[in-house]
């Protein structure tokens, strides 16, 4: 799952600055926007508005990386992230590597089946939930990073 953030269009008058200054400001803006968006995803999960973390793997897989000089990619790398975000339909699960599936029951009992019918799972949106608000706040973080950088230049 990926969300691309592009802050270049938010920069306006900064394009009048020398090229290297502009590059530094863009990098800071991209970093601020990506970090803020990622932080808001984690805050949403921590507030109990999405799924209840079991192992922490999904939450640990959420991060960001720079993409070129004026963009960043926010991601959730856990293989099952889309299934949590969008849910699943009912589907069969079949044994692949073994002859049967091992299914633990309450009380410590175990049963074996060659296949089972999974009832599906409801979606627990976390990545794209509140996207408009997150984008506004990420853009604001980018603007603040640029202003802070410009203020530092003119001291």
Please report the pLDDT score of residue 100 as a whole number.
94
b/e sequence 53-76, b meaning 16+ C-beta within 10 Å: eeeeebbeebebeeeeebbbebbb
Sign of CA dihedral 90, 91, 95, 100: positive
10-residue averages of pLDDT along the chain (155 residues) = 62 63 87 96 95 93 92 95 97 93 92 95 96 94 90 72
pLDDT digits (tens, 9 = 90+) for 60-100: 999 999 998 889 999 999 999 999 999 999 999 999 999 99
């Amino acid at each position: 799952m990926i969300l691309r953030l592009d802050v270049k269009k938010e920069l306006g008058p900064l394009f009048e600055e020398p090229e290297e200054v502009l590059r530094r400001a863009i990098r800071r803006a991209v970093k601020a926007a990506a970090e803020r968006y990622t932080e808001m995803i984690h805050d949403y999960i921590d507030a109990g508005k999405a799924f209840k973390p079991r192992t922490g793997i999904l939450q640990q897989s959420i991060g960001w990386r720079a993409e070129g000089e004026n963009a960043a990619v926010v991601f959730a790398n856990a293989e099952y992230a889309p299934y949590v975000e969008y849910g699943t339909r009912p589907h069969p699960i079949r044994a692949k590597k073994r002859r049967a599936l091992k299914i633990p029951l309450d009380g410590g009992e175990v049963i074996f089946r060659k296949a089972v019918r999974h009832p599906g799972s409801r979606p627990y949106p976390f990545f794209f939930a509140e996207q408009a608000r997150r984008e506004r706040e990420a853009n604001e973080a980018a603007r603040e990073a640029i202003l802070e950088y410009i203020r530092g230049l003119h001291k």
